[in-house]
Structure formats: C-alpha cells, structure tokens
Amino acid sequence: MTRLLGIKKTRTTALHPQSDEQVERHHQTILNYLAKFISEGQKDWDSWIPINLMAYRSSKHEATSASPAKLYFAHDFRLPLDLLRGSPPEREEENSIGNYIQRLKKKLRDVHNNARQRLNLQSFRSKERYDQRARQINFNVGHDVWFYNPRRVGGKSPKLQSNWEGPYRIIKKHSVVFGIRKSNRHKYKIVHSDRRILSNDGNKGKEKETKKTEKRNLKDEDCLTP
C-alpha cells in the first residue's frame, strides 16, 4: 500500500522523536497555535483547526524560506490583511494557456530549488549540533544495560524517583537500535541507544543516577541554609 501511494514508511522507537522530526515539529507548531485560541475548558479545540492550518500554510517557514502555499501554488495566498497594504500586484497577461503553464512550471522549479538548498543547509547545521552531543555506542549482544524510562508513579514525586530500570540484557542489535529483555519470562523491548547506558558491574547506571540526585539534593539544601 505504501509503495502504491508513494509513501516512505519509517519505523520508530518510543521516546525518540528524532525519528519523526518533521511530523513532530509540525504537531508542535499546530499545538502552539491552538493554545493561543482555545477556551479555558479546551472543549472547542477542533473548531480552531481550520483557521490555524490556514495561518500555518500562509506563513513563511524558516527552514524553506517560503510558505507551504508558495511551494504548492508558486505564489502566496492573498489574505484579508493584504487588502490593507494596497492593491494586489499586477499579473502579466498570458497569450495562451500553454504560456501560463510554462511560467508556472518555471516558478515552481525555482521555488523548489531554493527550498531544497535551504533544507540541505538546515539539515547540515542540525547534524553538526547533534554530533557535538553524540557519544560513541559500543553495546553488543549479551551486554547488560540500564534502560532510561521516565514515568510518573502515583504517590511519588518524579523529582525523587529514579528513571533507570534494569539491568536489561541486549538480545538483538541493529545499528543503534537494540532489543533488550530483563529475563526470559519478559517480553523484549525495542529501544534506541540514546535511552540507556552500559552497566559493567550491574550498578553503574544506578550509581550515575544516584550521584545526580545527591548533587541536586545538596544544591537544594544550600538554598535552604540561612
């Protein structure tokens, strides 16, 4: 079905939004729009979707330096606000439908080429920022690891609870994605390497998390000291 519709399907792991960066960014933008308009009870959010999508499609995007409308139609939307800026720009008269189609093709080609160059530049910059924080992954099948799984537990403060679970054993490996399992009785999880640290002695992960918690508690005590 995906091949028939020309869809490129990607498989993602939990709590790793980088796998769906474009979709996640789009959702975040729409949610930010909706948060400015919906009522306090948040029951009317769906009625604001059309006007917010209109705002999204008519706004210039930083990554492409063009609005989605311009990328699709080769020109920006004419909005009510534009009437305050004066008369619309004059359009060149076309001698035939064929001439109009050729001009439209050229405009779309120029807009798409410019957007593609901008996207490549943004992608390069994003990779540079990611590589600065990335770390070498040396996990192999059979290694014991601690699994980072932040979650809220009823009756407990999330600031005081440990977010590391384990140890888990790596039973499958595919590049930077791993299959891990606590024991043969448990189902294995598919997780990204960014969400775990290697445990050589069975305590490394918890020790690291405990030290962070202790430092945070010491800072809190300093703030409370008169």
Tens of pLDDT along 7-54? 777 777 776 766 777 788 888 899 999 999 999 889 999 999 999 999
pLDDT at position 167 over 80: yes
**pLDDT of the residue at 53:** 93
Task: Give the mean pLDDT of the chain.
Answer: 79
The tens digit of pLDDT for each residue in 68-111 reads 999 999 989 888 888 787 666 666 665 678 888 888 899 999 99
pLDDT of residue 31: 92
Q: pTM of this prediction?
A: 0.59
The CATH class given to the 143-202 domain equals mainly beta
Q: Give the pLDDT confidence score for residue 66 in this predicted structure.
A: 93
Residue 112 reports pLDDT greater than 90? yes
Query: Which regions of the chain carry the CATH code 2.30.30?
Result: 143-202
Residues 27 and 67: their CA atoms lie apart, in Å, by: 17
Highest-pLDDT range among 32-41, 140-149, 193-202? 32-41
Residue 142 pLDDT: 86
- 146 vs 203, higher pLDDT: 146
The answer, yes or no, to whether residue 218 has pLDDT greater than 80, is no
Q: Over 80: is that where the pLDDT of 61 sits?
A: yes
